[in-house]
Amino acid sequence: MRRMVRGRKAVAVAAVAGALALTVGAGQASAQEELIGHPGPDGLIWVPEQWGSGGFVSGGLHTGLDTYTTFACEGGGSIEVAFRLEEHPDRNPVPFTLDCPAGSPARVTVPLGTGLHGGFGAAVTASSASIRWGATVVQPE
């Protein structure tokens, strides 16, 4: 019988520790400001949050619509963004660098233009693994 009591105490302690960990984790996640919101029905890509270097690829560009990419970042460094338009290598936007302040997100929108079709991608090189970034690609109708 004594063993059961010890087992119950251990389970109770584990349950309390688990609840505390969930509460602490939720508090930390909600303290950070959203980098970039959902792009809505015009969105092709939404990367709500990524840490460090990364990127994305997509297809399905509609030739009759303008295409815009928006990047946001924070963390006290910078990101360098380079594009590759599979079907239009002559229209690849010039790579750019976005400074990522430590306090609040910085944003930039880059128009890719109309008449695009096929696949494309963006490579993001962060100055450190602590840089938080997000991106959207939209084709507004």
What's residue 32's pLDDT? 67
Residue type for 37, please?
G
Lowest pLDDT segment from 18-22, 72-76, 93-97:
18-22
Examine the pLDDT at 12 and tell me if it is beyond 90. Answer: no
What is d(CA 42, CA 141) in angstroms, rounded to the nearest whole number?
7
Residue type for 87, please?
E
**In contact, 121 and 45? CB cutoff 8 Å:** no
Q: Which helix (H) or strand (E) holds 124?
A: strand 118-126
CA dihedral 9, 13, 15, 19 (to 10 degrees): 160
Q: Which residue has the higher pLDDT, 65 or 23?
A: 65
pTM value? 0.75
Indicate the pLDDT class of residue 109, thresholds 50, 70 and 90: very high
